[in-house]
Amino acid sequence: MHLRFDGKVALVTGGSRGIGRAAAATLAASGAKVMIVARKEDSLRATAAALEGDIAWHATNAADAEGAEAAVEATLARFGRLDVLVNNVSTNPYFGSLMEIDVERARRTVEVNQWAMVMWSQLAWRLWMREHGGRIVNVSSVGAFVPEPNIGWYNGTKAAIIQLTRQMAQELAPGVTVNCVAPGIIKTDMSRALWEGHEDALSATVPAKRLGRPDDVSAAIAFLASDQAAYVTGQTLTIDGGITLGDGLVSGELA
């Protein structure tokens, strides 16, 4: 399947590294003009310079309402449209039992992982997609499917993304499709503590016998964002090398 995004514009949150960077690269290589959003200007500037294609950047905290609106408006001002929104940004400031989590870190996780996804989708809808249609792709995690030690709150927000994807798909049809990807153990900076130093042993527990790469996820994102997926909405595609075929996950943050 040859996916092309010529004449299309995409916005990717958390676009300076990991899965977000890979999604931006894949979409740009397929003809899209891309706006990447993250907190740090230096990382955004370096990513935009390193990737091929027409890529702009905007620095903001993903949970900041004014910054998010400014980013969407900057996308429309620069490129004239917004066809694809990839809600990829994520955070996990707490590691431990639900019985010990404090309100500030609990709130921060929900704001970035769960609320920001809805807020950015609202902005894309109101400022462009309601009148012109579009594609929204959300990034969850296989941690949404099973309990795990120490990251239950994070996984709860990832489970919420799956349900909210279904809800938005129903509300925004027929003009906008809303789908989700649930990555497993992907080699990103965010999951480095899980795999670094014991990648071979961890890979042996995965049916695919390797860890995932950001490109594995970005290819699925591109499909769900494409015209070929026009009849797919409200769905979650698991990209985990088969790890959820067994009795559960390994441990720790996966996506």
Q: Put the strands of the sheet holding 236-239 in their side by side order.
A: 55-59, 33-38, 9-13, 84-87, 134-139, 176-183, 236-239
In DSSP terms, which residues pair with 178 in a beta bridge? Answer: 136
The answer to whether the beta carbons of residues 255 and 211 sit under 8 Å apart is no
Listed residue (22, 34, 236, 35) closest to 143, CA to CA: 236
> ∠ at Cα 44 (115, 52), nearest 5°?
115
- Alpha-carbon distance of 143 to 140, in angstroms, equals 8
- Alpha-carbon distance of 205 to 102, in angstroms, equals 33
- Alpha-carbon distance of 92 to 114, in angstroms, equals 12
154 is catalytic: yes
Listed residue (122, 148, 115, 146) closest to 136, CA to CA: 122
Which residues does 3 contact at the CB level (< 8 Å), separation at least 6?
Answer: 30, 222, 223, 226, 228
Q: Of 154, 191, 236, 237, which residue is the catalytic one?
A: 154
Which residue numbers are catalytic? 154
